[in-house]
Structure 1
Amino acid sequence: MRLRRPNPGPPPPPAVGAVLAEGEGVHVRLGGRSVLVGVDIVARGGEVLALVGPNGAGKSTLLAALAGDVAPGGGVVRVFGRPATEWSARELALRRAVLPQSAALSFPFTVADVVEMGRAPYGGADPDEDELAVAEAMAATEVTAFAERSFGALSGGERARVALARVLAQRAPVLLLDEPTAALDLRHQELVLRLCRQRARAGDAVVVVLHDLALAAAYAHRVAILRAGRVAADGPPAEVFEERLLSEVYDQPVEVFPHPRTGVAVVAPRRSP
C-alpha cells in the first residue's frame, strides 16, 4: 500500500532580514554566450532589491535563475535555504511568485480569471481565502472596474496591472518582478513601487528589475548594478549610485544629485546646455 504524500502548505511568515532567495556563484550560458558569470545575490525579507543595468547586462536572466526557471550551469540558487531544484513546482509556487516582462494569453480569459490563476498553487483548499486574495489584489492594482473584460481587449498598461494582480494574489513571500513599470503611466509606476514597499513592510522579499534609476533610488532598499553578467555594485542607492560608476556601466555620462525636497538621489544624463 502506497501512502499518499500530503499536499504541502505555504511556508510560515518569514522574519524580517531572513534570506529568502539567494544565488551563489551563479553562471548561466544561453545561446553559447555567458549571460551570468559568478553572480552572488541575496534577497531578504523586508526589503526591496532593485536589479538595474544596461540592456543585455543579465538582469532578467538573474531574475529567472532566482525563480528556479533557468537552471544555472554553475553555482547554486536557493529558495528558503534549499536549492531551487529540490522543491516541487507547487512548493516553489507557494514560496515565490514571478512576473515576466510580458503576459500573453491565447484564450479569452476575463481579467478575474487571470487574477484567479495566482491561487492555483493552493488547489482550492479555502475558496473564501482565494476570493479574498483575488479581490484584494485587484483592488490594489486598480483593475476591479474591468474584472469581466477580456484580458486580450486590454491596453498594454492594463494587462501589466492585471498580471501584477495575479502575482499579488499568489501571496508568495518572494516576489520576482521583471520590469513591472515598463508599460505604465506615471501614476501607476508609482502605485506599483508603493505596492512593492508594502509587501516588503509585511516581511516579504521583493526583487524588481528596473530601468528607471529614479524609481530605484526612491523605492529600493538595496540596488544591484549589473554589467556584462556580473554585479558591479550592490548596496543602498545612496552608496552605489555614483556618477563615475554609472557613467562607466551605462557608457553614458550621468550626473547624480540629491532631490531638493526628499534628498533621494536623482540620476540624469549629462547634457550640454
Structure 2
Amino acid sequence: MECQHVSYQYPRQAAGITDVTGTFPSGQVTTIIGPNGAGKSTLLKLLARQLPIAAGQITLAGQSLNNYTTKALAQRVAMVTQRHQLYDDMTVSEVVQTGRLPYHSLLQTVPAAEVAPYLATTGLTPLADEHVQNLSGGQQQRVWLAAALAQEPAVLLLDEPTTYLDVHYQQDLMQQLRRLAATGITVIQVLHDINQAFRFSDWLWLVKQGRLVTQGRPADLRQANLLAETFQTPIEIVDVPRLGPYIVQVPEASEN
C-alpha cells in the first residue's frame, strides 16, 4: 500500500493531511506515531476510504483505492472497529459473522462454521455464544479483531487498539499483530505509546501537523533529536537493563 502526494482538508478546519508520500511494506507491521492532532487517525481513515482524498492517490496492489468497488475493497482492507452499542446484544459469533458479509449476498445467512477459524485464531472459541456486552475490554478487542480478520484482508488497519486495555492485554495484542504480519497481512496501526511502537513495529511513520516527517525502520529512527522535534518535547533515550533503549520524555525545567 502506498500514498502518493495525498492531501485532505476537513471542511472549515485547519487540520488535515498535506502532500503525504510514503509506503507501507507488505507483510509487516507499520505504526504511525506523532503528537495529538498530527493527522494519524485521518491518515488511517483515508487508507480505509472512509474519507475522500482531496489530492494525490492511495494505491493497493498497484491499483488506485478509488478503482475498487466497495465490496472488493472490503475483501482487501479491514478496519478494526471500536466498541459500539449496536453489538451489545449480539453474541461473539454473530459479530464475527458480520466480517463475512463482503463474501455473501445481502439476504444470505453466514454459516456459523464459516467463522470458526477466526474465533480460533483469536482465542474466542469458548466465548462464541457469549454476548459481547458481558466480555472484558481485552476480550472485546479480540472480537473486533476476529471480525476484521473474517474479511480475509490483505491490509489490517487499527486506530489506537491498546486504548483501555491493561498492560497484559496490550502485550497479547501486539504479539498477535506480529503473528498476523508473519502470515503476509500488512498491519497498519496508530499507537500513542512511543516505546510500544518502536518495540513491536517493522516500519514507522512519524507525522506532525498533517505531514510525514520521515519513515523507516525503528532502529534508524530511534534518535532523540528527531523525536523531540516531532513531538515538540525534550526526549532522551536511556538504556534499561533487560529491555534495551527506552524513550523517555524529559520534564522541562521550571522557571523560577
TM over 0.5: yes
Aligned with 2:246 (options 259, 262, 266): 266
> SS at 2:45's partner residue?
helix
Q: Within 5 Å, which residues of 2 pair with 1:54-203?
A: 54-100=35-81, 102-106=82-86, 108-123=89-104, 131=113, 134-203=115-184
Contact 1:160 1:183 in 2 (8 A): no
Q: Which moved more, 1:254-263 or 1:182-191?
A: 254-263
Contact 2:33 2:206 in 1 (8 A): yes
Separation in 1, partners of 2:109, 2:126: 25
**Residues 137 and 187 (structure 1), Cα distance of their counterparts in 2 relative to 1, 3 Å cut:** farther
User: 1:191, CA displacement in angstroms?
Assistant: 1.5
Contact 2:34 2:206 in 1 (8 A): yes
Contact 2:28 2:202 in 1 (8 A): yes
Contact 1:66 1:78 in 2 (8 A): no
Contact 2:234 2:252 in 1 (8 A): no
Structure 1 alignment gaps of length 5 or more? 1-20
TM-score of the aligned structures, taking structure 2 as reference length:
0.88
Separation in 1, partners of 2:197, 2:41: 16
Separation in 2, partners of 1:156, 1:31: 34
Q: Which moved more, 1:204-213 or 1:32-41?
A: 32-41
> SS at 1:170's partner residue?
coil
Structure 2 alignment gaps of length 5 or more? none
Contact 2:2 2:24 in 1 (8 A): yes
Residue type of the alignment partner of 1:161: R
User: 1:36, CA displacement in angstroms?
Assistant: 0.4
Moved over 4 A (4+): 124-128
What is the percent sequence identity of the aligned residues? 33
Separation in 2, partners of 1:54, 1:140: 33
**Residues 159 and 236 (structure 1), Cα distance of their counterparts in 2 relative to 1, 3 Å cut:** same
Residue type of the alignment partner of 1:178: D
> SS at 2:247's partner residue?
strand
User: 1:165, CA displacement in angstroms?
Assistant: 1.5
Could you say which residue in structure 1 is the equivalent of 2:2? 22
Separation in 2, partners of 1:144, 1:184: 21
Separation in 2, partners of 1:63, 1:166: 18
TM-score of the aligned structures, taking structure 1 as reference length:
0.83
The count of corresponding residues between Structure 1 and Structure 2 is 249
User: 1:272, CA displacement in angstroms?
Assistant: 8.3
* Residues 168-217 of structure 1, C-alpha deviations (whole Å, 9 max, x = no match): 22221111111111121212211111121112111221101111112111
Could you say which residue in structure 2 is the equivalent of 1:228? 209
CA RMSD of aligned residues (A): 2.4
Separation in 2, partners of 1:198, 1:119: 21
* Residues 80-117 of structure 1, C-alpha deviations (whole Å, 9 max, x = no match): 211111111110011111114x2313362111111111
**Residues 267 and 156 (structure 1), Cα distance of their counterparts in 2 relative to 1, 3 Å cut:** same
Contact 1:98 1:167 in 2 (8 A): yes
Contact 2:35 2:230 in 1 (8 A): yes
Separation in 2, partners of 1:217, 1:143: 28
2:208 aligned with 1:246, yes or no? no
